Structure 1
Amino acid sequence: MFTLPDSWVWDFWFADDGEQHHLFFLYASRALHDPEARHYRASIGHAVSTDLENWTRVPDALVRADAPAFDDLATWTGSVVRHPDGTWFLFYTGSTRAAGGKNVQRIGYATSTDLTTWHKAGANPVLSADPAWYETLDAGQWHDEAFRDPWVFPDPDGDGWHMLITARATTGPAFERGVVGHAVSPDLRHWELRPPLSAPAPHGFGQLEVTQTEVVDGKPLLLFSCLAEHASDRRRATGTRGGIWAAPAGSLLGPFDVDAARQVTDDRYYSGKLVRRRDGSWVLLGFHHTGPDGAFTGGVSDPMPVAWDGRRLTVEAPAAGTTAGSPRALVH
């Protein structure tokens, strides 16, 4: 498990250089006292490990920019990929304040030759919400302009790159508008925004956070997170606490059956990420969200083995405090 004694740690993502796993994570000082204040003080930290369990912290990756800039309020969740020329790209969310104090999110990137020293691109931001396809703050339907959490991966057929984005549709009930935003690039530097890869769903969500698409045990799936307070009325009616979810997919690019999404964990864990171990097996990590007392916790979990059982993604709970090996131990 990765924790910091003086800071909250939450959303995170990984890069693998072949020798070490690199953990990039959001963190903010506990001196803020209120964990909700952490969002607007977030920096991107960095740690390394050979086993996904024992971590060594190294110098931070990124901090927010001086105003005026698209990331002058905070630097939020992203992903890291490597260009064929050896350059590492860290895509991240930049947040800035709009009128009324609400935040607007856009997407930018930084590059590195060694995963340690990062330089923001001068062309930032490279993507922002287009009201032709995606809800903006002007719609007045949501508490922010949701356009964040870029998940970047190579095209399965070798034709450039894809980005999945936490975004919202322009139509539908407010708590069903969460969609998988989409953009494409030939070279990681120049991006074209496209329509979403999913649609609002009656059993859907107001937002599908930190999306990831992978193939586990031969089954393509969409992993995302959403708390009960941001789920659709029909989801909330089931008594869900929210947490990490997985939806079946036709391929890495969809179609994504958001209506059929099932919980992988409850809200004890959030911002789930699937990672492949050196032996090829898949594990899930999440950050510790809700403690036994109902308060926010913070800190990245140990890896938990996962499997596709033909209907849903199952996860084995950590040994400490839960029933080890039980695929349902993390869902109430």
Structure 2
Amino acid sequence: MAHVHISEQKVEKDRSVVHSWRYIFYKCTIGGTAYESVKIAIETGYRHIDGALIYYNEHEVGQAIRDKIADGTVKREDIFYCGKLWNTFHPPELVRPTLEKTLTTLQLDYVDLYIIELPMAFKPGDEFYPNDESGKWLYHETDLCATWEALEACKDAGLVKSLGVSNFNKRQLELILNKPGLKHKPVSNQVECHPYFTQPKLLEYCRQNGIVIVGYSPLGTSRDPSWVNLKCPPMLEDDLLVSIAKKYNKTTAQVCLRFNVQRGVVVIPKSFSPARIKENFEIFDFSLSDADMKAVEGLNKNIRFVELLMWSDHPEYPFHDDF
């Protein structure tokens, strides 16, 4: 895969998107599950860990990384960590302190990639999900370019190797790419991407601009009606995916992951099961045929599992646009 243009002056090898396709995703958990899962993942061969302050587990993830460095399994430069700037920390003066909080929690000197988690700013404060007495969400004026400039300063200070975004549509990406005085381009855009939601237009636009798509929910999602769009059926039970999996003696999950990898999408499957963590990694010993790739592409329904409709009235809600 080609290197990613980080700035206008030079081309750098961003380990988040070029070094390998081996990613694993960890969300909020309790009771030490993240610690054990990260250790197993690193022992299995994963080198890229997708985290966030708002997952409430960066202390566990950081401890696991440091322990695997200490026992000689990996070196720091072998590990890629992606952190995220949450919605309540968009004001430029809050960006560096928030990143520094992540670094302190991880007990690491730098993160490899730091991304704007969502293009929607919330009211700054102690509450990650601020709302008033009536339950109305409390938003904040969004200036994505100002937030980006603060992130650029963090990169220049050596706190982060590369910068990216998440859940940005084309218009929002263009705000950054066309910003006067842009110093560092976003290297990645983390968005929902899987056989039922293949994102062909956004994928092509990002390719044209040297931005790698990182696909979250690559295996679909839980069936929690409080936040999941249940109009989309369970993807891993799809008859076509089941038949293709049998053909290659693989699972439907492995077929979904392989599909995205072959089309240049980085995958970040979530699992706390040791067996599934290892299973998700076993996608590099087979390739889908051109015919099977086209068949899986034909499953696209253009329907999101993760719609975030509770924030659809935000001025920067990203999913009203076509892509």
User: Which structure is richer in relative contact order (CA contacts within 8 A, separation 6 or more)?
Assistant: 2
Q: TM-score, normalised by structure 2?
A: 0.32
Q: TM-score, normalised by structure 1?
A: 0.31
Instruction: Compare the two structures and name the one with the higher strand fraction.
Output: 1
Instruction: Compare the two structures and name the one with the higher helix fraction.
Output: 2
